[in-house]
Amino acid sequence: MSFEQILAQHPHSKPFWEATARAELVLPTCTGCSRAHWYPRPFCPFCGSVDLQWKRSSGRGKIHSASFMRRAAEPYIVVAVELEEGPILLSNLVEAPLDQPAIDSAVQVVFKQLDDGRTVPMFKPA
């Protein structure tokens, strides 16, 4: 799927990719109930408000859980990262030893460019 197709099918995602291209992680945050949610929607899934802001995340968080995918040609680490702002994001742990990481260990966002042109957030040990 190309970047253009993603934008065509998920038009509300555009500001997110513009931010990651600037090496910023932003979270859709409700101006009504103040909660950030994930994955992004054009409405607040907690209170139903459509009055949302893309708020910049600190990019800091901790590993909520992880699984080191050993059975792959090039093993990699899938993580669920709990950001300081609250939401838990699925991502990869990079720039880290290729092993099962410890839950609750601190991580920091990094940005990686994909072949399709998108820049996506990943995490490294903090």
Partner 1 sequence: MGALADAGLSMSDVDGYFGARDQPGPNAAYMVDYLNLKLRHYDTTDTGGCSYLMHIAHAAQAIAAGKCNVALLTLAGRPRSEGMATGTAARVGEPDRPDVPWESPYRNTIATQYGMMAARHMHLYGTTAEQLAWVRVAASTHAQHNPNAMFRKPVTVEDVVNSPVIADPLHRLDCCVISDGGGALVLVRPEIARSLKRPLIPVLGAGETIYTQNAGYPDLVTTGASRSGPAAFAEAGVTPRDIQYASIYDNFTIMVIAQLEDLGFCKKGEGGRFVQDGGLISGQGKLPWNTDGGGLCNNHPNNRGGMTKAIEAVRQLRGEAHTAVQVPDCSLALACGPGGVMGSGHGHATVIFGRE
Tell me which residues touch partner 1 (CB under 8 A): 1, 5-6, 9-10, 13, 16, 36-41, 45-46, 64-72, 76, 78-80, 86-92, 100, 103-104, 114, 118, 120, 122
Using CA atoms, how far apart are residues 82 and 100, in angstroms rounded to an integer? 17
Buried b (16+ CB within 10 A) or exposed e, 59-92: bbbbbeebebeeeeeeeebebebbbebebebebb
Distance of closest approach, residue 91 Cβ to partner 1, in angstroms: 6
Smallest separation (angstroms) from partner 1 to the CB of 78: 4
The least CB distance from residue 18 to partner 1, in Å, is: 14
